[in-house]
Amino acid sequence: MDPDDFAAQLLKTDAYVNPADDVDSFYNQIQSSVTAVLDGLAPLKTFTKRRGKRSSRWLSEAAVAAKRKRRQLERHWKRTGAESDRVAYRAACRAANDEINASRSAYYTQQLTEVAGNQRATWRLAKELLHSDDDSPTISPQDASSLCDGFCRCFSDKLIKITESVNLRLSTSPVYHRQPTHRHDPSLLDGLPEVTIVEVTRLI
């Protein structure tokens, strides 16, 4: 963006040509004028950045071949719609999953063996296994508020249903009077008998 062009465009806005008298209105003028000029000179652009999959670096040749075969059988089944092709595709899915899991297990087992004794490298691998570095999806304040309200209503409804269920069962159940239990007089531990040699020998 050319700074001179930006300054020239600002000189044509209401904030410069016809400024407001009070502070609040003038602030709104500056905000709208600067925003309008920036939108014209440097409009906001959005794009999608594709990120490589984590699995690409630890997939073995057998796992890559199994994934390729699974994809081929999936396309073939969707094209024909035959039940036999669907069964073959599902079998390929299970085989590919087994190869992928085995490849991942072998890769990280080797990595942990190589960094044995290095606490920093071991912790880095542990974080990678737990995906603790993954970016959490952003959520707008409106969606967050709606989600909280949904959780609140869910638990509130559960408590109301539990209360109604308990009251209904109590209203239909016969009254039960519990008889007081007889309590024996407590025995005081005010003395210990002498331990004999025979008792000690029996315990040993």
> How far is the C-alpha of 90 from the C-alpha of 70, rounded, in Å?
8
Give the tens place of pLDDT for each residue, 90-111.
Answer: 999 999 999 999 998 898 888 8
**Residue whose tokens read 């920093």:** 120
pLDDT of residue 74: 93
Kindly report the number of other CB atoms within 10 A of residue 192's CB atom.
Answer: 6
Alpha helices by DSSP H, listed for 11-60, are 14-17, 23-41
pLDDT of residue 77: 92
Q: Where are the domains of the chain?
A: 3-41, 56-114
Structure tokens at 143: 């969606």
pLDDT of residue 49: 61
> How far is the C-alpha of 175 from the C-alpha of 172, rounded, in Å?
9
Structure tokens at 27: 């602030």
pLDDT of residue 96: 92
In the chain, which stretches have pLDDT less than 50? none
Give the tens place of pLDDT for each residue, 134-165.
Answer: 566 677 788 888 888 888 888 888 888 998 88
- Residue from 70, 60, 61 nearest 96 by CA: 70
CA distances from 32 to 38, 78, 82, 83, 192 (A): 10, 53, 61, 62, 91
pLDDT of residue 195: 78
